[in-house]
Amino acid sequence: MELRSSIAFIGDEETLNVIDVLLNDDGIMDDMVSSIDYIPELETNDTNVWRCDCNGSSWVNIYEIQSRIEDKVPKLKYDIIYASTDSQTYIDVISLTGNFDSYLDTDPDKLQEMCDTYGLEFYGNEDVEDIDDEDEDEEDSYY
């Protein structure tokens, strides 16, 4: 099964250029994804967004990415926002700049808000809401 997600790196232009080299030339995520594609139309002055495709046996670990970046370029200041909105719905944030609190969230509304704000791809939460509604209907029929 192929899982789609997106990852945003937030930082100044020099930092984003360093991270781009690490992703493209050094392949620091190659063992975590089956493909990683830069999405230029989602680029802003301080944010670069990448689409990640993973097969069922791999997953993106942003803490491992952070460690690999630090091994190559210590003291680099950036933020990572990872959004998995396909079959496993969550958002994971690491902030080395202090602009964000680092956290993990599974709330579909928060996930959509973060995706909209930072240009991450959002594949929708209709399925998640439909499942919740079905569960509530089933529970009501028991009473």
Mean pLDDT in residue range 28-56? 90
> What is the pLDDT confidence band of residue 1, given thresholds at 50, 70 and 90?
low
| pLDDT given for residue 130 in this prediction | 40
Sign, CA torsion 57/116/65/101: negative
At residue 24, the 3 state secondary structure works out as: helix
DSSP 57-117: T----HHHHHHHHHHHSTT---EEEEEEESSSEEEEEEESSSSS--EEE--HHHHHHHHHH
Tens-digit pLDDT profile for residues 61-117? 999 999 999 999 999 999 999 988 776 788 899 999 988 888 888 888 888 888 888
pTM above 0.85, yes or no: no
